[in-house]
């Protein structure tokens, strides 16, 4: 630079200024432009040749303030700096750019320069940054903020906004009116003061869980209503707000009053509990009635069996004895022949009475137990109905009452009769097994027609009666079947 003199130095400085992203304008003591860098040309939309000699007071600049009002040339930062000899900083101005046909917004610093030995500035350097895009972003943000404000104020719920750390930034008017808190009081974690003391720890955990996961958070809690001091249930939900890279930058949430819903649910729960209790009581009553009915039925059967055995059998035996005497008195006469016919008929009647006694109330059921009674039943089914029945499985168990044993015997007999009537087979199995420590199962199994007949059989009066009495006595009764593979009917009876 020393070799080439001041001209080379000036050229060097201009080239340095030309690389700056900031606009630079140099004006002389009269305010005339003597130099601009390339960034200034781009921002202002004019070339150096077009701007050289122009002053700030020139109306061609069409400068405006931030509020849109005219920005007079004599108040431009450069002119103020020349007059005062002091720097002017941070002035925002709008300048019309004819090249792009719009205003560009610039942030200006103006620095006056005095030559050695002079008190008045000989030049002023104006440096400015194009903040147009930043202003647009700020305006868009303000518009977005206004839309958010209008939205949260329109929502008939408690609404809030948090930062990325979950700290409250602000809440809507509804929150303030409902809780009686101020904006300052609610910020940060102050909102928790409005929660019921018993709900605060849980709410804190749920907030931390949501922050850690970055997903929506939903929770229920009680919020104090300032108007009457009542804590009312609310359902709250918060959603993360993410930037273009998926990073959570804020949270937005709202809470709806669900106190009435909670009370309705509680009333419904209490009603259900009352209904369930009534059902239990009615079921217990039905079971008691079923037990009484079973007991009464078997008591009557035993009474009839006793009458058949002790009364009718004795009367028939007495008639047989007297008839035998008549036969002896007239060995070869007509009376003897009639007596033979009567004696034969009496024998058949006594056999029939004995068989009927066993069928009405098998003595073996009460004298030996259920397993032995089922053995007798299996043996009886072959000659009576041509059904060969095999009794298998567990035998060392005892049902807790005569009523339950009588029901089990009657149910197995009814199920075997269904096999005889509908299954189309000549064999069946009665299988007894333990189920846990409190139940025993008795299954009637056949390999007959299967479910082709199951619906008809399930709707028969006999099976309906078994199902109703089983339910009343606390016995589980199930039927499963497959076409061509038979039917499996099972009773699960309590042993305690």
Beta bridge partners of 231: 224
CATH placement of domain 368-494? 3.30.565.10
CATH class of 140-257: alpha beta
Cβ atoms of residues 433 and 441 within 8 Å: yes
Number of H helices, E strands in the chain: 16, 15
Q: How far is CA 170 from the centre of its chain?
A: 31
Return the closest-CA partner of residue 286 out of 474, 496, 492, 495: 474
By the 8 A CB rule, do 432 and 371 touch? yes
How many degrees, rounded to 5, is the angle at CA 215 between CA 213 and CA 219? 100
Integer Cα distance of 53 and 212 in angstroms: 63
CATH number of this structure's domain 6-130: 3.30.450.20
User: Running DSSP on this structure, what letter comes out for residue 243?
Assistant: -
482 to each of 298, 443, 486, how far by Cα in Å?
A: 35, 16, 6
Q: What element of type H or E holds 223?
A: strand 217-225
Per-residue pLDDT of the chain (496 residues; tens, 9 = 90+): 445 555 555 565 666 666 678 999 999 999 999 999 999 999 999 999 999 999 988 877 889 999 999 999 999 999 999 999 999 999 999 999 999 999 999 999 999 999 888 889 999 999 999 999 999 888 887 887 777 777 777 778 899 999 999 999 999 999 999 999 999 999 999 999 999 999 999 988 988 888 888 888 888 999 999 999 999 999 999 999 888 888 999 898 999 999 999 999 999 999 999 999 988 888 777 767 766 776 676 667 667 766 666 677 677 777 877 787 777 777 777 777 787 788 778 777 776 776 666 666 677 787 788 889 899 889 988 998 999 999 999 888 888 888 888 888 989 988 999 899 888 899 999 999 998 888 999 999 999 988 654 444 445 556 778 888 888 788 999 999 888 889 999 999 998 8
Torsion of CA 113, 115, 119, 122, to 10 degrees: -60
């Amino acid at each position: 630079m020393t070799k080439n003199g001041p001209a080379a130095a000036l050229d060097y400085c201009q080239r340095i200024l030309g690389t700056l992203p900031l606009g630079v304008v140099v004006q002389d003591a009269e305010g005339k432009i003597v130099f601009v860098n390339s960034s200034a040309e781009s921002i202002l939309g004019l070339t150096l040749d077009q701007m050289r000699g122009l002053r700030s007071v020139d109306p061609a600049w069409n400068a405006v303030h931030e509020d849109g009002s005219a920005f007079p040339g004599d108040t431009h930062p450069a002119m103020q700096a020349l007059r005062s000899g002091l720097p002017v900083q941070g002035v925002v101005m709008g300048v019309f750019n004819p090249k792009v046909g719009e205003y560009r917004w610039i942030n200006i610093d103006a620095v006056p320069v005095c030559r050695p030995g002079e008190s008045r500035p000989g030049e002023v350097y104006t440096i400015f940054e194009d903040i147009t895009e930043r202003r647009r972003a700020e305006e868009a943000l303000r518009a977005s903020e206004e839309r958010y404000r209008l939205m949260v104020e329109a929502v008939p719920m408690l609404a809030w906004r948090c930062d990325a750390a979950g700290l409250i930034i602000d809440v809507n008017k509804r929150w303030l009116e409902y809780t009686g808190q101020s904006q300052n009081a609610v910020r940060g974690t102050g909102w928790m003061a409005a929660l019921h003391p018993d709900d605060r720890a849980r709410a804190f955990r749920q907030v931390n869980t949501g922050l850690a996961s970055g997903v929506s958070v939903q929770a229920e809690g009680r919020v104090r209503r300032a108007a009457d001091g009542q804590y009312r249930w609310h359902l709250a939900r918060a959603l993360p707000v993410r930037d273009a890279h998926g990073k959570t930058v804020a949270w937005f949430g709202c809470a709806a009053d669900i106190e009435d819903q909670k009370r309705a649910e509680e009333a419904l729960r209490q009603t259900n509990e009352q209904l369930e209790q009534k059902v239990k009581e009615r079921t217990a009553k039905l079971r008691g009635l079923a037990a009484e009915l079973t007991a009464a039925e078997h008591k009557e059967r035993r009474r009839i069996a006793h009458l058949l055995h002790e009364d009718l059998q004795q009367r028939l035996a007495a008639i047989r004895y007297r008839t035998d005497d008549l036969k002896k008195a007239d060995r070869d006469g007509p009376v003897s022949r009639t007596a033979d016919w009567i004696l034969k008929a009496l024998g058949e009647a006594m056999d029939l009475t004995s068989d009927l006694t066993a069928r009405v109330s098998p003595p073996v059921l009460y004298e030996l137990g259920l397993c032995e009674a089922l053995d007798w039943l299996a043996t009886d089914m072959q000659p009576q109905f041509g059904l060969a029945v095999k009794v298998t499985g567990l035998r060392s168990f005892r049902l807790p009452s005569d009523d339950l044993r009588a029901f089990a015997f009657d149910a197995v007999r009814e199920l075997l009769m269904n096999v005889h009537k509908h299954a189309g087979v000549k064999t069946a199995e009665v299988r007894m097994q333990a189920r846990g420590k409190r139940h025993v199962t008795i299954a009637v199994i056949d390999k007959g027609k299967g479910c082709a007949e199951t619906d008809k059989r399930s709707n028969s009066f006999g099976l309906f009666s078994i199902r109703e009495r089983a339910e009343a006595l606390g016995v589980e009764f199930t039927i499963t079947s497959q076409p061509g593979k038979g039917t499996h009917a099972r009773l699960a009876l309590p042993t305690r």
